[in-house]
Amino acid sequence: MRNRKNYLLLIVMGLLFSVLVACSAADNAAGASEPEESDPETTDEGSSETEGEASGEESDTIKVGILHSLSGTMAISETSVRDSELLAIKEINANGGVLGKQIEPVIEDGASDWPTFAEKAKKLLQQDEVATIFGGWTSASRKAMLPVVEENNGLLWYPVQYEGMEASPNIFYTGAAPNQQIVPAVSWLLENRGTKFFLLGSDYVFPRTANAAIKAQLEADGGELIGEEYTPLGHTDYNTIIAKIKSEQPEVIFNTLNGDSNVAFFKQLKDAGISTDDLTVLSVSVAEEEIKGIGADVIEGHLTSWNYYQTTDTPENEEFVAAYKAEYGDDAVTADPIEAGYFGVYLWAAAVEAAGTTDVDAVKEAAKGIEFDAPGGPVKVDGDNQHVYKTVRIGEVRSDGQIDELWNSGEPLKPDPYLEGYDWASDLSEALSQ
Amino acid sequence: MSELMLTLFNGASLGSILLLIALGLAITFGLMNVINMAHGELIMIGAYVTYVMQNLFISYLPSQYFDFYFILAIPVALLVAAGFGMIMEFSLIRFLYKRPLDSLLATWGVGLMLQQLARSIFGAPNVGVKSPSFLNGGLEVGTLLLPYSRLFILGLSITCLIGIYYYFYRTASGRRVRAVMQNRQMAECLGVSTRKVDLLTFAIGSGFAGVAGCAITLLGAIGPALGTSYIIDAFMVVVVGGVGALFGAVAGAFGIGFFNTAFEYLTNASIGKVLIFLLIIAFLQWRPSGLVTSRSRSLD
């Protein structure tokens, strides 16, 4: 009898253990407010921290911090942003550096753990005395670094689109604000693809915040909300939701699913016989890199909304893609956050040149209105909220996994993180920024 | 009416997936009482074998044979995963049969190592596997469209089940396995080599995890951490079904499949998951040893 009790205890422990493992994975991902974590539990064995320990003479170099997750859940997405930032630094150094000095990157690993981001940011600012930090991906990591950079009057360049409702004086946001990705996508869909919307997202803060805004916009612009579903992160079975989609027959699915769930959803949608003739799926968390894992044949013809695609037709992009591939191999693809990380470094360098010093307040002042021809088109720093003017691009996935642009906003849109320019969002921004 | 039918089909389909991922575990955990936390990684190995087979076919064979890669991948996945299982059993598990808690930690470590191995070989991002063309589309029944891939998985899990049943209950080798699991000393006295039986049984259990991995490529993401999304479901099915009872796993899988689908249909995915866990907790209060109880040597 005693044996039996022990035995059952073991089973319970075994289960508990596995639940814990899964929970910690889910927690990591749940903290992530941004798209593109395609793969939980990812450690990139290729990432080394040696690059930062080069040359010694302080006077000839300007130290900058690079703080991304190089291990853990988010490494899969963040290592490529680190790569593009290092590429930008390398290019700037080859052209003589800034203020005649070489830029020396100090690379730290945020380890997909939000307190670690705060700790490393503190280390970079206080110990290494870096001029600025490039880093972060998830909103959770940004929110962890925010008080640190504000307290130490440091600088942070944050490269990922996010849910808005924030504007720290010590952070420059080079990713899209909601009005530069989600809002125009909804307007475009209403005009071109239909008014019956079905919202599908992973069950955490980013999709729920984004969908709250979308619902307000639909109500104001004459759209119809047919259904709204959330699934836990890492959900693998979409049969039931697809059954609901079939019976409710939306014209548009607005997809804010994150990570591996996208693969399951698109594969099962295709198996269920639903094609792009029946409805349009627009995703805001699927870029070139994710498409490789989903399979281009499965997602072909569906839409995405970003500010940059590898196919974006500018001379700067041609050079950027060539340089990126030369550095990281022919199989490497570029994507929106990779581009945002890249031009963030250039914006900072231009601001430093303009200020004539790396002093944070002077650089912030000089950064106002500074412009740069980024691979995704011209960008300009907005002096009020330190976000960036960017061109919105809606694209369609091709059979080779690249994305063709269907529409763009024509000119860079002014960033509006609090959605102040939209009447329908007036109640929303108050409710959400709390 | 058609919605009810569809929900029933979806339940059966989810049940068959659960059954497939839990069958191997029903053998290694159910029969042998090894808490094998690396089961999910054996599933992952099966999925990557499918990916490798696909690439081999693309590189070396004319494109009209492409579809056969999937058929061939199933036995190859079974053998490769069984091979990994044998290595695990021989180098690690056999020292831990009497120390289940240690085996839990050790197999978890093995799981992490296998994940890292996959990452080193195939890279951290997900890889894509193209479904064979004969599994595209679906069978139309009235207004319903039943995807061929789902029907295929349903068929595959039933085939595996029949195979396992035949082996354990109709062959001499399977009889020896059951004899060892039920009374080891007695079996040894009668001249059964229990070492060989242990090795073989663990390899079979691991092999079926490989088959499950092969099937899962039709449905979801293939990445190094694939196993972690399925391991909990697998343990859940075996515990609900009754540890030590192979056919309990069948009832457990389809029970969980139907209830999960129904709950999800009536509420939403997150609440559905909560409800199914509540139901399982309540059920285990009522029947702590699962649906089908059986006596085996370690349960005495």
Alpha-carbon span A337 to A285, nearest angstrom: 11
- Per-residue pLDDT band at A36 (split at 50, 70, 90): very low
Q: How many of the other CB atoms lie within 10 Å of CB of B204?
A: 24
pLDDT, position A218: 94
pLDDT higher than 50, residue B300: no
Alpha-carbon span B71 to B61, nearest angstrom: 15
Could you tell me the sign of the dihedral formed by the alpha carbons of A187, A193, A199, A205, in that order?
negative
**Which domains are seen in chain B, by residue range?**
2-286 (1.10.3470)
pLDDT higher than 70, residue A19: no
The residue type of B218 is: L
Helix (H) or strand (E) holding A404: strand A403-408
Contact, A337 vs A161, CB < 8 A?
yes
Alpha-carbon span B153 to A264, nearest angstrom: 15
Measured between beta carbons, the chain B residues lying within 8 angstroms of A264 are 219-221
pLDDT, position A18: 56
Measured between beta carbons, the chain B residues lying within 8 angstroms of A47 are none
What's the mean per-residue pLDDT of chain A?
85
Write the burial class of residue B282 (CB in 10 Å: 0-12 exposed, 13-18 middle, 19+ buried).
exposed
List pLDDT tens digits, range B63-120.
Answer: 888 889 999 999 999 999 999 999 999 999 999 988 888 999 999 999 999 998 998 8
Shortest CB distance from A271 goes to which of B150, B268, B289? Answer: B150
List pLDDT tens digits, range A234-288.
Answer: 788 898 899 889 888 999 999 998 877 888 999 999 988 888 999 999 999 888 8
- Per-residue pLDDT band at A17 (split at 50, 70, 90): low
CB contact under 8 A, A43 and B225: no
Q: Specify the pTM.
A: 0.81
Q: How far is CA B61 from CA A125, A179, A352, B136, B152, in A?
A: 57, 50, 57, 21, 24
pLDDT, position A43: 41
Q: How far is CA A375 from CA A56, A154, A318, A339, in A?
A: 33, 27, 8, 7
CB contact under 8 A, B228 and A44: no
Query: Which residues are CB-contacts of A176 (< 8 A; sequence separation ≥ 6)?
Result: A161, A162, A306, A307, A336, A390, A392, A415
User: Largest alpha-carbon pair distance within chain B?
Assistant: 61
pLDDT higher than 50, residue A417: yes
Could you tell me the sign of the dihedral formed by the alpha carbons of A282, A283, A286, A287, in that order?
positive
Q: Given the structure tokens 């497939």, which residue do they identify?
A: B20
Shortest CB distance from A293 goes to which of B125, B236, B273? Answer: B125
The residue type of B87 is: I
Alpha-carbon span B6 to A245, nearest angstrom: 13
List pLDDT tens digits, range A187-242.
Answer: 999 999 999 999 999 887 788 888 988 999 999 999 999 999 999 877 888 988 99
Alpha-carbon span B71 to B91, nearest angstrom: 31
CB contact under 8 A, A42 and B35: no
Helix (H), strand (E), coil (C) string for A243-257: HHHHHHCCCEEEEEC
Using the Cβ of B107 and the Cβ atoms of chain A, whether some distance falls under 8 Å is answered with no
| Interchain CB contacts (distance < 8 Å): A and B | 178
Nearest to B165 by CA among B26, B14, B291: B26
Q: What would the DSSP string read from start to end of chain B? A: -HHHHHHHHHHHHHHHHHHHHHHHHIIIIIIT----TTHHHHHHHHHHHHHHHHHHHHHHS-GGGTTHHHHHHHHHHHHHHHHHHHHHHHHTGGG-TT-HHHHHHHHHHHHHHHHHHHHHHH-SS-B--PPPGGGSSEEEETTEEEEHHHHHHHHHHHHHHHHHHHHHHHSHHHHHHHHHHH-HHHHHHTT--HHHHHHHHHHHHHHHHHHHHHHHTTTS-BSTTGGGGTHHHHHHHHHHH-TT-HHHHHHHHHHHHHHHHHHHHHS-HHHHHHHHHHHHHHHHHH-TT-SS----GGG-
Measured between beta carbons, the chain A residues lying within 8 angstroms of B150 are 239, 271
Work out the percent of chain A whose per-residue pLDDT is above 70: 85
Q: Given the structure tokens 């001499």, which residue do they identify?
A: B172
Using the Cβ of B257 and the Cβ atoms of chain A, whether some distance falls under 8 Å is answered with no
pLDDT higher than 70, residue A49: no
| Cross-strand bridge partners of residue A158 | A173
Shortest CB distance from A264 goes to which of B220, B232, B264? Answer: B220
List pLDDT tens digits, range B21-61.
Answer: 999 999 998 888 889 999 999 999 999 999 999 999 999 98
pLDDT, position A56: 41
Phi first, then psi: give them for residue B137, nearest 5 degrees. 80, -165
Alpha-carbon span A294 to A172, nearest angstrom: 32
Identify the three-state secondary structure at position A165.
Answer: coil
Write the burial class of residue B112 (CB in 10 Å: 0-12 exposed, 13-18 middle, 19+ buried).
middle
- As given in the structure block, the two tokens for residue A86 are 């290092």
- As given in the structure block, the two tokens for residue A281 are 């799926």
The residue type of B248 is: G
Calculate helix-pair angle for B68-91, B100-122, nearest 10 degrees.
140
Shortest CB distance from B228 goes to which of A13, A40, A295? Answer: A40
- Predicted interface score ipTM higher than 0.90: no
Query: Which residues are CB-contacts of A128 (< 8 A; sequence separation ≥ 6)?
Result: A63, A65, A106
The residue type of A334 is: T
Contact, A199 vs A228, CB < 8 A?
yes
Write the burial class of residue A139 (CB in 10 Å: 0-12 exposed, 13-18 middle, 19+ buried).
buried
pLDDT, position A430: 63
CB contact under 8 A, B115 and A41: yes
Shortest CB distance from B232 goes to which of A22, A244, A264? Answer: A22
Using the Cβ of B297 and the Cβ atoms of chain A, whether some distance falls under 8 Å is answered with no
- As given in the structure block, the two tokens for residue A272 are 């269920």
- In A181-258, where does DSSP find H-type helix? 182-192, 205-221, 239-248
Alpha-carbon span A170 to A151, nearest angstrom: 9
Contact, B244 vs A16, CB < 8 A?
no
Alpha-carbon span B157 to B164, nearest angstrom: 10
List pLDDT tens digits, range A293-350.
Answer: 888 889 999 999 999 999 999 999 999 999 999 999 888 899 999 999 999 999 999 9
Contact, B210 vs B110, CB < 8 A?
no
Q: How many residues does chain A have?
A: 434
- Per-residue pLDDT band at A30 (split at 50, 70, 90): very low
Q: How many of the other CB atoms lie within 10 Å of CB of A372?
A: 17
